[in-house]
A and B are shown apart, each in its own frame.
Chain A
Amino acid sequence: MPDILTLTDVSRSFGALKVTDGVSFSVPKGQALGIIGPNGAGKSTLFNLITGNILPDAGSITLMGRDVTRLPARARVRMGVGRSFQIPQPFEGLTVFENLAVAASFGQNRSEAAVTADCVAILRDCELLHRANTFAGALSLLDRKRLELARAMATGPELLLLDEIAGGLTEGECQALIATIKGLHAKGTTIIWIEHVLHALTAVVERLLVLDFGRVIGLGEPEAIMASREVREIYLGIEV
């Protein structure tokens, strides 16, 4: 499979702090990649660099063969990059359906009428159909997380970035979310997923990338990564 995303020596500093330090990796189309690392490792910054919310100081980002390093976030959405936020950020004054309709209409530049059927299908996949006409501000945490996922899907992404979407959920809720994400991945969507809930992550992803102090310290199959001495010491705090 061709690579959908390639980062080459990407670096970004905030003042004297280097948050992303020479990061390079590729994601083949259709793959699910998990990203783990301690708090402050630069995981969310890496997402912001991929989505274009912030621009790198050095290095290049290629999306579907096109250099997008300086391209604004909106243009990357239209190219097929969808994202969810670590803290759900629904449009609270709009209903669940309207949250999806606005994302689908602007993310894919189609009329409202043309996206209705797609939005209904996504709501059904994300188990939110029964909440379609509920204001987003009135949703439970699980449904807010589902809405984050559904709204990102509504933009029609080839590449879906999920930021700690399982955090704060009960085990039962987490399993329901895993099933939903597995379903989306099975339909061919490429996924990059930042997560601390490791069993959720390893249930879906085919590869794991480990970040520490902005650097990639491990990339490979989940079993191999989790067995790595360096990862266990840094991430899991286990003395080996």
Chain B
Amino acid sequence: MQPTVTTRTRAGTLTGLFALLLIAAGLALPAFASRSLIQDLFFILTMLTLAQLWNLLAGYGGLVSVGQQAFVGIGAYAMFAGVILWGMDPVLAIPLGGLAALALAIPTAFFAFRLAGAYFAIGTWVIAEVTRLLVAQWKTLGGGTGTSLPREATSNIIGVETIRALFDVREAAARDILAYWLALALAVLTIAAIYALLRNRLGLALAAVRDNAEAANSVGIDAGRIRWAVFLIAAAMTGLVGALIYVQTARISPDAAFSVTDWTAYVIFIVVIGGIGRIEGPILGVLVFYALQTLLADYGAWYLLTLGLIAIAVMLFAPRGLWGLISDRTGLQLFPVQRRLTGISFKGGQT
């Protein structure tokens, strides 16, 4: 029997089928769901995408960035610039967010990659703060107080009229549905792309660099180039999410768009409690985060204190997160990436 390598598991195949059903249901959902549910799902999907991207950076790439809000903010502002300065359709201006974040990521990586560990984390945060202060000087886009998307831009967004006719809803609800579909598409695309990357040989290289950069170099892996690639991809995608979030809110300010709490602290919380270094982790984490937010939102500071305590408890007692606990007990892998060698015989057995 020839030795073969497989990543396929039954749970993985079932997950694939279930995911297809879920995507189909997600696309059809606006026909039945209330506007508030659509808005909640938009929030969940965008946070999930941000969490998957941070997980790619920190969990797979070993790059613990605390400055991802820089890319959310610059992506959102680039979309606003496209709409206000050049008269673009807000949805068509979303790619500008990705490009702007990519452009910002290049000098950010240039400086931050000279640092390691905690210094890297703080360095990325400082760069994000500097970017926020610079953007606050941009008077055309509202300076420090911010601005809103012009009425004429939000009332003529591509596809909104069709959605209005299709679901017989008001314009604002139609805009929410469009944003929700785009968030769904971005979340699916991000998870699929990360999964494909991890199944590729680059996924192995990424894990090798994360585990030991010196040893990775000694087997011919260009650790520096891999880190650059991961950082730039995550930044560009984060910029797209930032632009999409602010298409939906239609109102921006530097403090909100570059918020370390909203776009990095919550995202880290989601990844840590769900399980770092696994695609399943952020999916579970975002559901827990949403449940906690719904239950505790009225308790102000107690809400944040509770989040902090839960994060500390998980880090102490389940360092690989809730999914790590489940996976350790059941061996379950919904997104299997481990290469298993089968069909080999050796003294004393077969695998």
Contacts and interface: CB of A to CB of B under 8 A. Distances in A.
Are A and B associated in one complex? yes
Interface of A: 51, 53, 73-74, 77-78, 83, 85, 89-95, 97-99, 101-103, 105-109, 111-113, 116-117, 120, 124, 129-130, 132-133, 151, 154-155
9 contacts: A91-B212, A93-B207, A93-B211, A94-B211, A98-B204, A101-B204, A106-B219, A106-B220, A120-B341
Given A94-B204, A106-B205, A124-B346, A78 B5 contact: no
A89 B212 contact: yes
Top 5 A-B residue pairs of the complex, sorted by shortest distance between their CB atoms: A103-B219, A77-B220, A102-B204, A89-B215, A107-B220
A151 B219 contact: yes
Contact of B201 (A90, A94, A97, A105): A105
Contacts of A53: 214, 217-218
Given A95-B338, A129-B344, A117 B3 contact: yes
Interface in B323-340: 338-340
Given A89-B215, A116-B5, A155-B220, A130 B349 contact: yes
A97 B277 CA distance: 20
A106 B205 CA distance: 8
Contacts of B211: 90-94
Interface string B209-232: 011101111111110000000000
Contacts of A117: 3
Contacts of B218: 51, 53, 73, 77, 83, 85
Nearest to A92: B211
Most buried by A among B205, B338, B341: B341
B208 interface: yes
A97 B344 CA distance: 12
A89 B221 contact: no
Given A93-B277, A132-B344, A105 B217 contact: no
B4 interface: yes
Interface in B1-56: 3-5
A83 B201 CA distance: 21
Given A85-B218, A101-B5, A120-B344, 10 more contacts: A85-B214, A89-B212, A89-B215, A91-B215, A91-B216, A97-B340, A98-B338, A107-B219, A124-B346, A133-B351
A83 B215 CA distance: 9
A113 B208 CA distance: 18
Contacts of B300: none
Contacts of B3: 116-117, 120
Contact of A109 (B204, B216, B220, B340): B220
Q: How many interface residues does chain B have, given as a range?
A: 20 to 34
A156 B134 CA distance: 51
A85 B218 CA distance: 10
Contacts of B221: 74, 102, 106
Contact of B208 (A73, A74, A102, A130): A102
B220 A98 contact: no
Interface of B: 3-5, 201, 204-205, 207-208, 210-212, 214-222, 277, 338-341, 344, 346-349, 351
A201 B344 CA distance: 33
Nearest to A133: B340
Given A91-B207, A91-B208, A95-B338, A102 B201 contact: yes
B219 A95 contact: no
B220 A93 contact: no
A98 B199 CA distance: 12
Contact of B210 (A78, A85, A93, A105): A93
A101 B208 CA distance: 11
A166 B290 CA distance: 53
Contacts of B210: 93
Contacts of B347: 130
A102 B4 CA distance: 16
Contacts of B219: 77, 102-103, 106-107, 151, 154-155
A98 B214 CA distance: 17
A93 to B, nearest CB: 5
B3 to A, nearest CB: 5
A20 to B, nearest CB: 19
A73 B348 CA distance: 39
B207 to A, nearest CB: 5
Contacts of A74: 217, 220-222
A96 to B, nearest CB: 9
Contacts of A94: 204, 207-208, 211
A155 B339 CA distance: 18
B201 A129 contact: no
Contacts of A116: 3-5, 341
A93 B214 CA distance: 15
